[in-house]
């Protein structure tokens, strides 16, 4: 059976700043999807990560389907009304357009979708990150899919010997989707050369070269490109199919032990370590640190199992302690050097205005 897994995520308001959506907001989105998705959704799952709500859906309508995208858009609109009534912060933050125009891509919410012939056993992972950007997944994807130091299956499994095809997007190009296809293992230096630049080049999808099947889909929305100004970080979602022709679950999770430094954190303008957190976690220290959650599922005939929280295990408590130390260390230097993002990435206008004002006062000494 051919099914599509779609995840659509938005920040439509949260309690106490950019921390967590309210219970009534989550209820409203859940009720809307359950009521209006009747008849065409096979299944769905609603969750939050920090201040973002994600709607995970299974159906047979394919990728980029208007009915599916509109359902999510309208659910977020209904939620926004509740957010306004509750006085939530940033009500409707990610809904950047007034009316729905066929595809939710380019309207604010983040989208990741995989259409596939369901395997007899179909395990997959759903990742959601907050207070960071889509490129935050670049390093873990590179390591999980190309590096035998992390992905033992590249050496041990006959199903992965041909490697993977990466589609990478240049997200600085705003007039359309500018993409490149590169193959691992032969192009890994080229892949690395692009993926080191998290805010410019972002993995959009990965395909198995053994079977041709899609392994991964990442949301690549850049909100400030759509709105033309800062509107919050583009907190990304991702889907990854695992096992058999794809890396094992643990090979995909492994690289999150690093707590690598990513852009985001306070006001989307800082550098901080990416902390793997439990499902439905909130945000705290310095509007961060940047977080990532992972729900593991199996799906059969479009019906989802219950989610298993992939980062709820004693091992990840140890990782979280180390990542907290890393966050504390970089925060001690405040605005200085790499702790704050470079001028080109500063999403709030304030510093841009200060520099413009000071430029007039500068004089070249005679």
> Which residues of the chain form contacts with ligand 13P (CB under 6 A)?
11, 18, 50-51, 90, 93, 130-131, 232-233, 235, 248, 250, 266-268, 287
Q: Which does 266 bind (CB under 5 to 8 A by kind): ligand 13P, Mg ion, none?
A: ligand 13P
Q: For residue 264, which of 315, 189, 199 has the smallest C-alpha distance?
A: 199
In the annotation, is 51 catalytic? no
CB of 22 to Mg ion, least distance (A): 13
Min dist. Cβ of residue 248 to ligand 13P (A): 4
Provide the 8-state DSSP code for 159: G
Distance, C-alpha 341 to centroid of its chain = 19
CB of 14 to Mg ion, least distance (A): 6
- The catalytic position among 36, 89, 230, 285 is 230
Contact assessment for residue 26 and residue 46, using Cβ atoms and an 8 Å cutoff: yes
42 is catalytic: no
Q: How far is the CB of 151 from ligand 13P (least distance, A)?
A: 11
Closest CA to 320 of 271, 285, 268: 285
Tell me, yes or no, if 233 is annotated catalytic: yes
Which is nearer to ligand 13P, 69 or 233 (by Cβ)? 233
Nearer to ligand 13P, 63 or 224 (CB): 224
Q: In the structure encoding, which two tokens stand for residue 284, read together?
A: 């705290």
Comparing CB distances to Mg ion, the nearer of 160 and 291 is 291
Nearer to Mg ion, 166 or 311 (CB): 311
Choose the catalytic residue: 9, 11, 165, 235.
11
DSSP 168-199: EEETT--SS--EEEEEETTTHHHHHHHHT-TT
* Annotated active-site residue in 42, 131, 165, 233: 233
Q: Mapped to the 3 state alphabet, what secondary structure does 81-145 carry?
A: HHHHHCCCECCCCCCCCCCCCCCCCCCCCEEEEEEEECCCCCEEEEEEEECECHHHHHHHHHHHH
Distance CA 337, CA 318 (A): 29
* Residue 148 touches which member of ligand 13P, Mg ion, none, C-beta under 5-8 Å by kind: none
Work out the angle between the directed axes of helices 188-195 and 138-146 (0-180°, nearest 10): 170
Minimum CB distance to Mg ion, residue 94 (Å): 8
Please report, as ranges, the residues that interact with Mg ion according to CB under 5 A: 11, 18, 51-52, 90, 130, 235
**Residues identified as active-site:** 11, 230, 233
């Amino acid at each position: 059976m051919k099914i599509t897994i779609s995840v659509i995520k938005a920040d439509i308001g949260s309690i106490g700043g950019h921390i967590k959506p309210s219970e009534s907001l989550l209820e409203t989105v859940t009720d809307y999807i359950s009521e209006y998705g009747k008849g065409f959704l096979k299944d769905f799952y609603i969750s939050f990560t920090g201040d973002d709500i994600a709607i995970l859906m299974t159906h047979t309508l394919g990728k980029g389907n208007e009915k599916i995208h509109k359902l999510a858009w309208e659910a977020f609109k209904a939620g926004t009304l509740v957010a306004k009534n509750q006085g939530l912060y940033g009500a409707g933050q990610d809904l950047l357009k007034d009316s729905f125009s066929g595809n939710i891509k380019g309207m604010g919410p983040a989208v990741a979708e995989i259409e596939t012939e369901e395997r007899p056993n179909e395990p997959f992972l759903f990742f959601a990150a907050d207070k960071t950007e889509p490129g935050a997944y670049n390093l873990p994807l590179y390591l999980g899919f190309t590096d035998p130091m992390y992905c033992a299956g590249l050496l041990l499994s006959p199903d992965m010997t041909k490697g993977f095809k990466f589609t990478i997007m240049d997200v600085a190009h705003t007039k359309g989707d500018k993409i490149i296809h590169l193959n691992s293992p032969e192009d890994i230096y080229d892949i690395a050369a692009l993926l080191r630049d998290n805010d410019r080049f972002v993995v959009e999808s990965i395909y198995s070269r053994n079977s041709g099947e899609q392994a991964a889909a990442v949301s690549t929305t850049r909100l400030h490109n759509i709105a033309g100004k800062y509107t919050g970080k583009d907190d990304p979602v991702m889907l990854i199919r695992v096992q058999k022709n794809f890396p094992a679950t643990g090979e995909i999770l492994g690289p999150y032990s690093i707590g690598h430094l990513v852009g985001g954190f306070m006001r989307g303008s800082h550098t901080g370590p990416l902390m793997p957190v439990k499902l439905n976690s909130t945000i705290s220290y310095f509007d961060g640190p940047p977080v990532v959650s992972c729900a593991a599922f199996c799906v059969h005939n479009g019906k989802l199992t219950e989610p298993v929280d992939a980062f709820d295990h004693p091992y990840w408590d140890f990782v979280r302690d180390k990542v907290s130390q890393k966050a504390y260390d970089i925060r001690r230097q405040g605005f200085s050097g790499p702790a704050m993002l470079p001028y080109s990435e500063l999403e709030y206008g304030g510093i841009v205005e200060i520099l413009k004002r000071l430029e007039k006062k500068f004089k070249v000494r005679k």
